[in-house]
Structure 1
Amino acid sequence: MTESKGEQSKRKLFEAAEELFAQKGLQSTRVGDIVAKAGLTQAAFYLYFKSKEDLFQQMLQEFDRQLVLLGDAGKQAATLAPKDIHQHVKSTFIQLFSLFGRNPYLTRIALQHADDSEKIRIKIVEQIVNNMERNKRLGIVSPNIDTWVAAESIVAVTERLVHRYVLTGKKTETVLAEQAAHIFLSGILNHAGEGD
């Protein structure tokens, strides 16, 4: 499905604002900077947004909406056969890496620079914790895991690896997701020969 001219203009404004907000901050970025970078006019800007603060809040809301969907992926683990859980976790990591990779500036803004970035991060972590606790009760997650540490680790590792590897083109989202899923599901030690 192709975007309408209005959808294209709004997307261009979002993309320009993401980059400028991440580089200069919300306060130092002017509407004129955004429209110049997007190749549009101020009149076009005000068709979609009341102000740069309104644009910023819409960006955060959309990012939050996408993260909420991914944060709830753990609910599905209870419905899967044990043999399918590894693939499900890997698929969820791919989606998370893809989201962060598609929106690198917004990821940085939402998780590091927004006034309520800590609230956004905690909301994501709490969702993962709730799902892991549910899966712990079902015997899917090890009873020895501190779910808060695990959830914080997942968010922090994903965010950092995207910036280090995806944005530099050194690794794809899929490769990183496979590695992250393996580390979180199997650990880093070689268990061969231990009778496990």
Structure 2
Amino acid sequence: MADRGRPKGASGEESRALLLEKAAEEFAQSGYHETKVSSIVKKASLSQPSFYLYFKNKEAIFEELEDIFRLRIVEFAKKSRLQPDLEFSTAKERITYGLKSLLEFLSKNPNLTRIGFYISTRADEVKIQLISQIKENLDFEVNAGYFRKGLDTQIVAECLIGMIERLTFSKLLTEQKEPKEIADAIVDLLLYGMLE
């Protein structure tokens, strides 16, 4: 017997993924408190019993969205560490590429980004975890000779996350700037400063 709440031909995995997608839309647009399970299932063209096959309640689906965001964004930070013995021009390209990839993820997942960076009560924890990972990367890169000794890597990591968060909100999600434009501007500022 087919599940009546599931779109015809949809598998359980597809239904679950659809619920996550529509929940992300609802939470991003309406906020946590205003979002109802009924509005999520209506957008997904599924039944409420179908929702409860996959998620215990609204809190459970929201927490999963928070976890997806956190895991993905921290993975970008981990992958961005420079490996030893790169030429400076290659290092700059590698830094820009890593930042652009992160910004592309944020841009392609605006609802998840709004949840993870702005709506979630755990958003500060995610940012602290990101700052910690970036600081760890920078400490490694200072020791590898990419950046000057004595660099306050904690300040740099916090500044970078502040820039990413702010520019994501003001330029990226509003589609005023492309990920590459923002990545180029941030890397140029951090590597070369503002003096002529």
Unaligned ranges ≥5, structure 2:
1-9
Q: Which of 174, 177, 191 is the equivalent residue of 1:171?
A: 177
Tell me the residue number matched to 1:137: 143
Number of aligned residue pairs = 187
* Secondary structure of 2:35 counterpart: coil
> 2:63 matched to 1:57?
yes
Normalised TM-score (structure 2): 0.84
* Secondary structure of 1:78 counterpart: coil
CA distance in 2, matches of 1:8, 1:189: 53
Normalised TM-score (structure 1): 0.84
- In structure 2, do the counterparts of structure 1 residues 7 and 163 end up closer, same or farther at CA, with 3 Å as the change threshold? farther
Deviations 1:33-84 (A, max 9, x none): 1112233322332232222211112111111111121111343333533331
Tell me the residue number matched to 2:20: 14
Q: Which of 110, 115, 118 is the equivalent residue of 1:109?
A: 115
Deviations 1:122-153 (A, max 9, x none): 00100000110111122212234321221112
- In structure 2, do the counterparts of structure 1 residues 140 and 183 end up closer, same or farther at CA, with 3 Å as the change threshold? same
* Secondary structure of 1:143 counterpart: coil
Instruction: Provide the alpha-carbon RMSD of the alignment.
Output: 2.1
Retained in 2: the 8 A contact 1:72–1:127?
Answer: yes
- In structure 2, do the counterparts of structure 1 residues 6 and 180 end up closer, same or farther at CA, with 3 Å as the change threshold? farther
CA distance in 1, matches of 2:92, 2:105: 20
CA distance in 1, matches of 2:11, 2:182: 35
Unaligned ranges ≥5, structure 1:
191-196
State the AA in 2 paired with 1:101: S
* Secondary structure of 2:170 counterpart: helix
- In structure 2, do the counterparts of structure 1 residues 118 and 167 end up closer, same or farther at CA, with 3 Å as the change threshold? closer
State the AA in 2 paired with 1:154: L
CA distance in 1, matches of 2:180, 2:56: 38
Retained in 2: the 8 A contact 1:100–1:159?
Answer: no
